[in-house]
Amino acid sequence: MYNTLIVKYGEIGVKGKNRYIFENKLIKNIKNILKPLGDFKVYKEFGRIYVDLEDYDYEEVIEEVKKVFGIVGVCPAVRAEKDYNKLKELALQMLEEKIQEGAKSFKVESRRGDKSLELTSQEMSLDIGGYLVSQVKDRIAVDVRNPEVKIKCEYRQTHVMAYSDTVAGYGGLPLGTNGRAMSLLSGGIDSPVASWMVAKRGMDLECIHFHSYPFTSEKSQEKVKDLGKILAKYCGRVRLHKVNILEIQKAIGLSCKEEEMTIISRRFMMQIAERVAEKRHCDALVTGESIGQVASQTIQGLTCTNASVSIPVFRPLIAMDKTEIVDIAQKIGTFETSILPEEDCCTVFSPKKPVTKPKLDRIEMSERKLDVEKLIQDAIDNIEVEDLEF
């Protein structure tokens, strides 16, 4: 029955003179995510964005479209030539379908986009509602306050349209409208969620992953690649930079205090990520840190890691509880992969009693025992890069 999708956006609607930039980017992103399914006509008209379905399965198309950041809802609709009586017929078809699905009450909501129609929007609702009641009799009740189903009818400049359901999207802003970020991606639950949340705000993503092969296995790297591919479902192609920091961790273990291993390793990761980010024209780093979640994520620990870089560091999970983070991971499909029992570079060399309130001056004093520049450059020189697609 459905032949088009109405794409509803949120924040884009309050943009000023540059609103068209966001709309055009949103249309481009919708087309890109639908390419594996086919060549779709996606266009804007009278402040709306539409996707023509033709013979495609509307549920399959909606499942993809709703992943595009910037979209708050997708409505399967029936669109026809401009004819008021035809609009009544479309509304009846839709109501009949809802009755078959078991709906017990309904109301009609109308919008008159073409003022040449003599009826006002409210009068349209009364007229169409009366027609529907005359056709379906007592098979469904009218409830204008709390209906199970809303039949939405529109009489617009060039066409008429009827729809009822709205499938929720993720909101945010279209990908690529707010610069680029380099995300520190581990195999855990947090960093994929943090990456997704920043991408939702319109930032293009690249990822950097630190490992300690052969002390960490190839399977742990495959796990991170799988997480990157899931993110690519929302973000398009994701470039993954894989960095072996085994020699750095060995040097820290030989020259620094054991309890400082985690903080100093983290500072090295941030500095490497910053240099790769600058080379790749990224404007910020992204981490999955949350205050107090682990020893290195105390406010003192975060202060020490922040001091190692000059680029902005985004921490979208900073005040979230673990249960909140897990909920998002399950929603976006990363959770089941994140909980696979593979080791990472942080756990392999984790000290028994890590320092929880590190002093920056003491950490910097310990680092002076290391050839920091050489260790960083050697790690960067041996980076492996891979482009991931879903």
- For residue 186, pLDDT over 90 is answered with yes
Residue 174 has pLDDT above 80, yes or no: yes
For the chain, give the percent of residues with pLDDT over 70. Answer: 99
- Residue 383 pLDDT exceeds 90: yes
Would the annotation count 87 as a binding residue? no
- pLDDT score for 1: 87
Scanning the structure block, which residue is given the tokens 């003599």?
Answer: 118
Q: ∠32-36-204 over CA atoms, to 5°? A: 35
**Binding residue per annotation — 100?**
no
- What would the mean pLDDT of 26-32 be, rounded to a whole number? 95
67 touches 36 (CB < 8 A): no
Judge contact between 80 and 175, C-beta under 8 A: no
Q: Is the pLDDT at 216 greater than 90, yes or no?
A: no
* Confidence class for position 145, pLDDT limits 50, 70, 90: very high
Q: Is 281 labeled as ligand-binding?
A: no
Alpha-carbon separation of residue 294 from 95, 263, 302, 308, 346 (angstroms):
54, 11, 11, 19, 11
**Is 297 labelled a binding residue?**
yes
Distance CA 99, CA 234 (A): 35
Rounded to whole angstroms, what are the CA distances from 192 to 21, 181, 299, 342, 388?
Answer: 28, 13, 22, 16, 14
210 annotated as a binding-site residue: yes
What is the structure's pLDDT at 293?
Answer: 87
Q: How confident is the model at residue 124 (pLDDT cuts 50, 70, 90)?
A: very high
Q: Return the pLDDT at 323.
A: 97
Give the model's confidence band at 348: pLDDT under 50 very low, under 70 low, under 90 confident, else very high: low
Reported as a single tens digit per residue, the pLDDT across 286-344 is: 999 999 888 789 999 999 999 999 999 999 999 999 999 999 999 999 999 999 987 77
3-state helix, strand, coil in the chain (%, to 5): 45, 20, 35
Q: What are the structural domains, with CATH classification, of the chain?
A: 4-168 (3.30.2130.30), 180-388 (3.40.50.620)
CB 205 within 8 A of CB 231: yes
Summarize the confidence of residues 182-193 as an average pLDDT.
96
Give the pLDDT of residue 342: 79
Whole-angstrom Cα distance, residue 216 to residue 346?
10
Asked if the model's pLDDT at residue 279 lies above 70, the reply is: yes
314 in a labelled binding site:
no
- Known binder of ligand: residue 249? no
